[in-house]
């Protein structure tokens, strides 16, 4: 026989004063209302102290502390950073000494090269995939093949080889090129190739070059960079790794580099990581913000790069 229920008597509930309750919201953390013509710092200070604002402000402070302590700040970037016009921001942060190492996937390097050479990049794949012309421009693979063939020494990696080549040939838009900015500032820049994922891999001049050998050098180099994220002493700040717009390749590279660095004795428990992207992806969430770092040292800031990166740069130069 079915059990019969009576409506519960809510008058029996035990209650207590709101004054005794813990709260997640407080008036003191509400958004301010800067006047027209306010400075960036006034606007920054007026942001409501919740969620994404707290995340990005924590990242800014971690970067500033790392640089004041002489620790690395690494920007690992997918191609979208270049394709939405943010290269000048990265170049400026390199020149200011805030970004001390740059990590790219193959697509980022390709778009950066095309910006340097012709000031334009990113074909419309939907138009060119159907007629067989997708990825078939001549100049881009030629730059990579020439850079690899004329690298300055046997131990040069792919990123350094391309950066020095673009500098050597005086690329027309070199001032807007991240690879060139890294070369001029003498900071490490690495390019991590997943064979078959980039348009230049369709060209014999690149496939028959030492592309993979130079990218392997860059993996070994990025392992050294990650190892250097460790603090100088237990009391000192550690370095910062920012994954910006790479959803698969660079989070995987980072995870392996962390494994190598820890295997060889680096204490990375105090390092800070951040993922800045338009949407949340599995691998950055796990391999950058989650697994490699201690609790509360991994941060996620969701938003469009063309908005987030100018804001991040301005906040950094105001604080640094």
Residues 166-175 have a mean pLDDT of 97
- Provide the whole-model pTM: 0.93
- Phi, psi dihedral angles at 189 (to 5 degrees): -135, 125
The answer to the question of residue 19 being in a domain is no
255 CB-contact burial (10 Å; exposed 0-12 / middle 13-18 / buried 19+):
middle
pLDDT digits (tens, 9 = 90+) for 27-74: 989 999 999 999 999 999 999 999 999 999 999 999 999 999 999 999
CA 180 to chain centre: 18
Residues 6+ apart with CB under 8 A from 210: 148
Residue 23 lies in a domain: no
pLDDT over 90 for what percent of the chain?
93
Continuous segment of H or E residues that includes residue 302 = strand 298-302
Whether residue 58 is contained in a domain is answered as no
Q: Does 103 map to a domain?
A: yes
User: Which pLDDT value is given to residue 60?
Assistant: 98
Gap between the Cα atoms of 304 and 205, Å rounded:
36
Separation CA 211–CA 257 (nearest Å):
20
CA distance linking residue 318 with residue 304, whole number of Å: 21
CA distance 276 to 112: 19
Q: Is residue 170 part of a domain?
A: yes
Does the pLDDT of residue 123 top 90, yes or no? no
**Ramachandran category for residue 304: left, alpha or beta (phi over 0 → left; psi -120 to 50 → alpha):** beta
Report which DSSP code applies to 170: T
pLDDT of residue 145: 96
What pLDDT is stored for residue 279 in this prediction? 92
pLDDT reading at 192 higher than 90: yes
**Residue-wise DSSP of 184-222:** HHT--EEEE--TTSSGGGGSHHHHTTTHHHHHHHHHHHH
Instruction: List pLDDT tens digits, range 226-266.
Output: 999 999 999 999 999 999 999 999 999 999 999 999 999 99
Whether residue 35 lies inside any domain: the answer is no
Q: What pLDDT was estimated at residue 1? A: 78
Nearest to 223 by CA among 188, 181, 198: 188
Q: What is the pLDDT of residue 320?
A: 86
State the pLDDT at residue 143.
97
Amino acid 292: pLDDT: 94
Q: For Cα atoms 22, 24, 30, give the angle at the middle one, nearest 5 degrees.
A: 130
Q: Which residues contact 313 (CB under 8 A, 6 or more apart)?
A: 89, 92, 93
Distance, CA of 185 to CA of 94 (rounded, Å): 7
Q: Does residue 110 register a pLDDT over 90? A: yes
Q: What is the CATH number of the domain that holds 291?
A: 3.40.910.10
Please tell me the predicted confidence (pLDDT) of residue 100.
98
Could you tell me which residues come within 8 angstroms of residue 214 by beta carbon, excluding any fewer than 6 positions away? 148, 151, 156, 157, 158, 161
The answer to whether residue 142 is domain-embedded is yes
Phi, psi (rounded to 5 degrees) for 259: -60, -45
Q: What is the rounded average pLDDT for all residues in the chain? A: 95
The total of structural domains in the chain comes to 1
Q: Is residue 262 domain-resident? A: yes
| Boundaries of domain holding 182 | 63-121+137-319
- 103 in Cβ contact with 288 (< 8 Å): no
pLDDT of residue 209: 95
pLDDT for 75 beyond 90: yes
Percent of the chain exceeding pLDDT 70 equals: 100
Mean pLDDT value of segment 125-131:
90
Question: Do 178 and 87 form a contact (C-beta atoms < 8 A)?
Answer: yes
The C-alpha angle 66, 293, 288, rounded to 5 degrees, equals: 90
- Residue 103 · residue 253 · CB < 8 Å: yes
Q: What is the DSSP letter of 295?
A: T
**Is residue 114's pLDDT more than 90?**
yes
């Amino acid at each position: 026989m079915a059990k019969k229920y009576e409506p519960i008597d809510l008058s029996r509930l035990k209650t207590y004063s709101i004054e005794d309750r813990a709260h997640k919201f407080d008036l003191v953390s509400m958004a301010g209302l800067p006047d027209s013509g306010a400075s960036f710092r006034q606007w920054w200070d007026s942001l409501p102290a919740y969620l994404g604002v707290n995340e990005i402000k924590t990242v800014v402070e971690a970067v500033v502390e790392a640089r004041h302590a002489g620790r690395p700040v690494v920007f690992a970037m997918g191609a979208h950073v270049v394709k939405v016009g943010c290269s000048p921001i990265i170049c400026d942060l390199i020149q200011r000494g805030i970004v001390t190492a740059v990590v790219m996937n193959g697509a980022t390097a390709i778009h950066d090269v095309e910006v340097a050479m012709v000031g334009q990049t990113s074909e419309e794949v939907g138009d060119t995939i159907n007629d067989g012309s997708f990825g078939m421009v001549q100049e881009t693979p030629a730059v990579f093949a020439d850079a690899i063939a004329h690298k300055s020494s046997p131990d040069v990696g792919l990123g350094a080889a391309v950066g020095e080549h673009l500098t050597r040939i005086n690329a027309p838009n070199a001032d807007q090129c991240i690879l060139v900015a890294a070369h001029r500032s003498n900071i490490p820049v690495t390019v991590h190739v997943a064979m078959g994922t980039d348009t230049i891999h369709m060209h014999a001049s690149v496939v028959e070059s030492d592309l993979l050998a130079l990218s392997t050098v860059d993996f070994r180099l990025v392992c050294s960079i990650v190892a250097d994220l460790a603090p100088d002493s237990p009391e000192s700040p550690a370095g910062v790794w920012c994954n910006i717009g790479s959803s698969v390749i660079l989070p995987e590279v980072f995870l392996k580099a962390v494994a190598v660095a820890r295997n060889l004795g680096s204490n990375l428990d105090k390092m800070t990581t951040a993922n800045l992207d338009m949407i949340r992806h599995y691998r950055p969430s796990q391999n950058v913000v989650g697994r490699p770092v201690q609790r509360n040292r991994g941060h996620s800031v969701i938003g469009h790069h063309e908005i987030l990166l100018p804001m991040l740069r301005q906040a950094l130069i105001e604080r640094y």
